[in-house]
Chain A
Amino acid sequence: MSMLVCNVSLGALSKGIVDGIAFLGEMFPPDFSALPDMIYPAVETIMISFLATFFGALLSFFFALAGASNISPMWLKSISRFFMATERALPEIIIILLLVAALGLGPFPGVIALAIGCIGMLGRLFSDAIEEVNAKTIESVQSAGATKIQVIQYVIIPEILPSLISNTLFRFEVNTRLSVLLGAVGAGGIGYEIFYSFQLLEYERATTAILVVLLLVFMSERVSDYFRKKILSNTKLK
């Protein structure tokens, strides 16, 4: 049944494989002369990812505060948690398409889309981290007369800092991958370069762009690993 629905046919598959191999042949060797053209889009991709992670983490933090049961009233918690769950359920590409429709093409809608895309995951993780802060510690600081904002500043933030940092760094890796995808729907960056090369049938150029993407993703992982280790080792027990 599912084979019928999906139009599965062994004939098409075998023909597809042959065509695929021929196509792969056209993609090689990579056209490295196009490399200088890739630098600007690559930087753009990284910048989109960086800004989106920064604003996304900030947004997520506020949603997390609203969504943590130990510092937020019940009604606010429900609203915030509902929003985060909805955002998590929507694939990023849908948010991107919605925002491209609303704000037009370009890197800026891309940044906004990715920043909003952070809320579902980061907001939830931050929120859970806040709920794990010892309720008695909060109570004791309040019993010295502190206000809620002071509790957030002096208890919540220091206690969840490791979680804030390591999850945000991880999200930076995810955003780097996503911003490539974003490029393909017109938000600029290296993704657009791949999309554009395919349309011009310049497959060798596309291969170069794909290699650059791989390099970017590897690099973002290395960088985030480096900072994670460095920052977390500072907060470890002495």
Chain B
Amino acid sequence: MIEVKNITKSTKEGRQILKGISFKAKKGDFIGILGPSGAGKTLTMRCLNGLTKPTTGEILITIDNQVHDIAKNKGKELRQMRQKIGVVFQGFNLVKRLSVLENVMIGKLGQINQFRSLFKGFNNEEAQKAYEALEKVKIEKLAKRKVASLSGGEMQRVAIARAIFQEPVILLADEPIANLDPTNAKKIMKRLKPLSEEMPVIGVFHQPEIASKYCNRIIALKDGTVVYDGNSDISEDLLMDIYGDELQEIENQALVSAPLA
């Protein structure tokens, strides 16, 4: 469970980018965050996993029945919280020269003792669990391959497996399908959806039609505020409202990908 309470974020020059964003997410939610460029989508995501500190506001995350505020935590506490937040990035961000399985196991580095990771590495039980995480995204056959030899879609699935292996209480996905072709984008969405039965899944998406098809809730941002928060049945008028002039461009892209998506 995650509760975002009225977060704001200003630049050093004092320009306010996030102007008070609030929402709650619980198990079962697969939230798609939409919005034109510059609306503050990625910045919101960075705040949610503590990569950026909001200027004001609270981000309450429930871990083991205890409520923590990631906006306040630093150092060790922040590291401990992050272990419980799975993140999938647009650029996959995997270690290219390690194997698929090793990349998945990296997800748990924060949860094992520093001394052990330095001298012993992971044990068999952990390797087994990492393998199971790969099975969940149906990519276990590639476990021994070097990541550098995979395609973009496969890499993103490895990244999801890494996030699953962390056993997070929440999964964040920052434009997870932006670098993928429509077929692979669809596959990734299909893998993300069932995960929302175990934890809230929050993703930033560029393609409203894909988001409304797979997500069960849409949050739309515009100029740093929430302009829509509701079911994924979004109307053309609403899209026009959110995106304005950008809508035409987005729909053109959608046309290209429509036959496959």
Residues of A at under 8 Å CB distance from B?
A: 134, 136-137, 139-147, 149-150, 153-155, 158-159, 161-162, 235, 237-238
In the bound complex, do residue A140 and residue B110 qualify as a contact, i.e. CB atoms below 8 Å apart?
A: no
The reply to whether B98 and A237 form a contact with Cβ atoms under 8 Å apart is no
Q: Provide the bound-state CA to CA distance between A162 and B94, in Å.
A: 17
| Interface majority SS (helix, strand, loop, mixed), chain A | helix
User: Given that A150-B114, A150-B117, A153-B117 are contacting pairs, would A145 and B82 also be in contact in the complex, using a CB cutoff of 8 Å?
Assistant: yes
Mark each residue of chain B from 24 to 61: 1 if its CB lies under 8 Å from any CB of chain A, else 0: 00000000000000000000000001110000000000
Cβ A235 vs Cβ B83 within 8 A = no
| Contact string against A for B residues 104-144, beta-carbon threshold 8 Å, 1 for contact and 0 otherwise | 00111111001001100000000000000000000000000
Contact at A237–B107, with CB atoms within 8 Å?
no
Contact, CB under 8 Å: B51 / A153: no
Which of A136, A139, A141, A235 sits near B106, CB closer than 8 Å?
A141
* Chain B neighbourhood of A154, CB < 8 A: 95, 98, 102, 106, 109, 117
Size of the chain B interface, CB-CB below 8 angstroms: 36
Tell me, in angstroms, the Cα distance from A145 to B83 when the chains sit together. 5
**What CA separation (Å) do A237 and B91 show in the bound complex?**
19
Tell yes or no: B74 within 8 A of A by CB: no
Contacts A150-B117, A237-B146 hold; do A144 and B87 have CB atoms under 8 A apart?
Answer: yes
Contact A155 B95 (CB under 8 A): yes
A158 contact from B79, B98, B114, Cβ within 8 A:
B98
Closest to B112 in A: A150
When the two chains form their complex, are residues A145 and B109 in contact, meaning their CB atoms are under 8 A apart? yes
Q: A150-B114, A153-B117, A154-B109 are in contact. Are A143 and B91 (CB under 8 A)?
A: no
Once A136-B89, A150-B109, A150-B117 are accepted as A-B contacts, the answer to whether A143 and B97 lie under 8 Å apart by CB is no
Question: Closest residue to A162 on the B side, CB-wise?
Answer: B97
Alpha-carbon distance between A144 and B111 when the two chains are bound, in angstroms: 9
Q: Which residues of B contact A145 (CB under 8 A)?
A: 79-83, 109-111
Q: Which 6 residue pairs are nearest across A and B when measured between Cβ atoms?
A: A145-B110, A145-B83, A140-B93, A146-B109, A145-B82, A158-B97
Q: How far is the CA of A141 from the CA of B87 in the complex (A)?
A: 10
Check A144 against B114 for contact (C-beta < 8 Å). Answer: no
B93 / chain A contacts, CB cutoff of 8 Å: 134, 136-137, 139-141
Q: What is the 8 Å Cβ interface bit string for chain B, positions 55-98, against chain A (1 contact, 0 not)?
A: 00000000000000000000000011111011101010111111
Asked if A143 and B95 sit within 8 Å, CB to CB, the answer is: no
Considering the complex, give the chain A residue whose CB is closest to the CB of B105: A154
